[in-house]
Chains A and B, each alone.
Chain A
Amino acid sequence: MNRIASLTAASPKRVLPGFGLSLGVTLLFISLVLLLPLTSLVGQLSGLSLAEYWAIITEGRVVASYLVTIGAAAVAALFNALFGLLMAWVLVRYEFPGKRLLDALMDLPFALPTAVAGITLATLYSSNGWMGQLLAPLGFEVAYTWVGIALAMGFTSIPFVVRTVQPVLEDMPGEVDEAALTLGASDAMAFRRVILPHLWPALVTGTGLAFVRSLGEFGAVIFIAGNMPYETEITSLMIFVKLQEYDYVGASAIASVVLAVSLLLLLVLNLWQGRFIRRLHGGKG
């Protein structure tokens, strides 16, 4: 409390009340709920030597799970980049019956519990499900393959790209379109050279968020994944399996990798975005 008091005292010019109280509550909450649990991961790992740690996180089955997870997440993110761009464009630029409903539907994956999404997709795409029956004769197997994993990851992260690109497209003045057209550009050229670069920061951010979310996805994936070691086992499941076997150290080691990668990606995304935005909104360089 001393620190809070000194902070309050150091800035006598604050007009609004409640600085000390809200700072105190916030710091207490963040320390207890967010930071303290994360430090326990460090505590758990501090008992390991570097070699032991390295051995756990580079074990064959674990490495295979990284590859499956990253590969499927990349496919899912790429799909979402295209689908999200299409949806954002259609929802902002065109008027058609049912538009509001379609707009509302975009948020379904965030609102629907992941386990529900998981069993639904697994049922739909299993060999006797509605979609599975259609795809099986064509030789496509989705359930219990990495395609199914990508599908589940793609589903749960649909809103990211749509909802980051949509507002940017909405705020884009109509004059930008018109300027490109008066200069003789074709639709395709104007989209590629004028509109896409305009949306680029939002598109990359949305895709990046979708990718990070997919890396950590668990509930939606495990039902459709098949969970075969080396083939359709995702890293989140590896951690879960280790926990079931009471191998807390192993679980922690792998979790630390997942956590580090996610946080690093978010950091890179933030820094990149900051640089891009500085250029568009002034500042030198």
Chain B
Amino acid sequence: MQRIGDSPRVRRVLVGLAIFFSALFLLLPLVAIFAQAFAEGLEMFWANLSDEYTLAAIGLTLFVAALTIPVNLVFGVFLAWLVTRFAFPGRRLLQTLIDIPFAVSPVVAGLVYLLLYGRNGWIGGWLDSHDIQIMFAWPGIVLVTIFVTCPFVARELIPLMQAQGAREEEAAVTLGASGWTVFRRVTLPNIKWALLYGVILTNARAVGEFGAVSVVSGSIRGETNTLPLHVELLYQDYNTVGAFTAAALLALIALFTLAAKAFLEWRATRRENAA
């Protein structure tokens, strides 16, 4: 078959350029993270890792992710069900609204939460008088993280559920299944892998969010310092190796996310080819 650009020379040049630039802009930074983290040897790496404040930051980060994921999971599934299984006025608007967190700068996201829940804010004032603190405490971090990561699950589900259509669910309803049964026995098996990837993406972003969290956290060491904030703190303290040790942990999560995506895609194409 003749295709444009399939002469060996063009092909070698383009593949060469692609690999060169990808290595320079993507691979090199990735390598640098781990090189810096282990710059002073494995022992130092472990010492940095088992530092009291680093452990606290890891704990808080996992805690925030653990709260964020179920909330966005439930919301994402409901939204996807709503916009792919029903036609109603305002459906497109809903789909546009859900993309707002992608368009909003993380600092602006943090700011609007600060305005709302801060001491001078609409709700914050009332909360303050009841001695409930949200800003500069973990609830604030959780809230902005939910904001920033809310589109991911829905974004993964909507195209898939749209492509699959509602026939199978309608068939289940005609067979007398209840709503929950339809979802659990028909919908869920079809969307579980997309759902899983949505969760993995949500997790990656929740664990790594920096801008929005730095606005609402107050960065109190050992208390409201998440892992990305801890990276910044160590870096500003000129503890480069320490900063990169924490960064390497985050990079591992990123690599896991990429591997999960590659695996799920490989699985999907394999099933397509089998069909």
Q: Are A124 and B32 in contact (CB under 8 A)?
A: yes
Q: Which residues of A contact B235 (CB under 8 A)?
A: 119, 223
Whether A145 sits at the interface, judged by CB under 8 Å, is no
B191 → chain A, closest Cβ, in Å?
14
Q: Which residues of B contact A7 (CB under 8 A)?
A: 88
Whether B120 sits at the interface, judged by CB under 8 Å, is yes
B52 → chain A, closest Cβ, in Å?
21
Q: Are A219 and B106 in contact (CB under 8 A)?
A: yes
Interface stretch, picked from A54-62, A172-180, A225-233, is A172-180
- Total inter-chain residue pairs, C-beta < 8 Å: 280
Q: Which residues of A contact B215 (CB under 8 A)?
A: 240, 243
Residues of B at under 8 Å CB distance from A?
1-7, 10-11, 14-15, 17-19, 21-22, 25-30, 32-33, 36, 74-75, 78-79, 81-82, 85-86, 88, 94, 96-109, 111-116, 118, 120-122, 143, 146-147, 150, 166, 169-170, 173, 178-179, 182-183, 204, 207-211, 214-215, 228-229, 231-232, 235, 240, 243-244, 247, 250-251, 253-255, 257-259, 261-262, 266
Q: Are B115 and A37 in contact (CB under 8 A)?
A: yes
Q: Which residues of A contact B204 (CB under 8 A)?
A: 110-111
User: Which residue, A116, A218, A248, has most C-beta atoms of chain B within 10 A?
Assistant: A116
Interface stretch, picked from A97-105, A136-144, A275-283, is A97-105
B85 → chain A, closest Cβ, in Å?
5
Of the candidates B96, B108, B170, the one whose C-beta lies within 8 Å of that of A216 is B108
Whether A146 sits at the interface, judged by CB under 8 Å, is no
A144 → chain B, closest Cβ, in Å?
15
Of the candidates B109, B113, B247, the one whose C-beta lies within 8 Å of that of A120 is B247
Whether A23 sits at the interface, judged by CB under 8 Å, is yes
Residues of A2-24 whose CB lies within 8 A of B: 7, 11, 14-19, 21-23
Q: Which residues of B contact A114 (CB under 8 A)?
A: 106, 208, 210-211, 228
A220 → chain B, closest Cβ, in Å?
9
- Complex-state Cα separation, A107 to B4, whole angstroms: 27
Can you list 17 A-B pairs with a CB-CB distance of less than 8 A? A35-B97, A37-B109, A40-B115, A86-B17, A87-B18, A90-B18, A108-B258, A111-B255, A111-B258, A114-B208, A155-B29, A178-B1, A187-B10, A191-B5, A223-B232, A248-B118, A252-B115
Residues of A111-145 whose CB lies within 8 A of B: 111-121, 123-124, 130-131
- Complex-state Cα separation, A60 to B19, whole angstroms: 43
Q: Which residues of A contact B96 (CB under 8 A)?
A: 270
Of the candidates A22, A215, A259, A262, the one whose C-beta lies within 8 Å of that of B81 is A22
Q: Are A255 and B259 in contact (CB under 8 A)?
A: no
Q: Are B111 and A17 in contact (CB under 8 A)?
A: no
* Given A16-B182, A83-B21, A121-B29, A259-B208 contact (CB < 8 Å): no
Of the candidates A100, A116, A131, A180, the one whose C-beta lies within 8 Å of that of B208 is A116
* Given A37-B115, A105-B258, A111-B254, A259-B104 contact (CB < 8 Å): yes
Q: Are B103 and A266 in contact (CB under 8 A)?
A: yes
Of the candidates A131, A191, A251, the one whose C-beta lies within 8 Å of that of B28 is A131
* Given A104-B262, A113-B209, A174-B179 contact (CB < 8 Å): no
* A contact patch SS: helix
* Given A180-B4, A187-B4, A26-B94 contact (CB < 8 Å): yes
Q: Are B21 and A86 in contact (CB under 8 A)?
A: yes
- Complex-state Cα separation, A21 to B74, whole angstroms: 12
- Using A124-B32, A239-B107 as known contacts, list a sample of 12 further A-B pairs with CB atoms less than 8 Å apart, ordered by residue number in A: A17-B182, A22-B82, A29-B150, A34-B97, A98-B19, A104-B261, A107-B257, A130-B32, A181-B2, A240-B107, A255-B112, A259-B104
User: Which residue, A36, A44, A112, has most C-beta atoms of chain B within 10 A?
Assistant: A112
Q: Are B113 and A37 in contact (CB under 8 A)?
A: yes
Q: Which residues of B contact A161 (CB under 8 A)?
A: none
Of the candidates A96, A116, A191, A240, the one whose C-beta lies within 8 Å of that of B231 is A116
Whether A268 sits at the interface, judged by CB under 8 Å, is no
Whether A50 sits at the interface, judged by CB under 8 Å, is no
Of the candidates A35, A36, A87, the one whose C-beta lies within 8 Å of that of B22 is A87
Q: Are B22 and A19 in contact (CB under 8 A)?
A: no
B188 → chain A, closest Cβ, in Å?
13
Of the candidates A26, A115, A180, the one whose C-beta lies within 8 Å of that of B232 is A115
- Complex-state Cα separation, A30 to B75, whole angstroms: 9
Q: Which residues of B contact A16 (CB under 8 A)?
A: 85-86, 166, 169-170, 173, 179, 182
Contact string, A185-199, partner B, CB cutoff 8 A, digits 1/0?
A: 001001100110000
Q: Which residues of A contact B19 (CB under 8 A)?
A: 98, 102
Q: Which residues of A contact B26 (CB under 8 A)?
A: 105-106, 108-109, 158
Of the candidates A17, A104, A109, A174, the one whose C-beta lies within 8 Å of that of B178 is A17
Q: Which residues of A contact B240 (CB under 8 A)?
A: 123
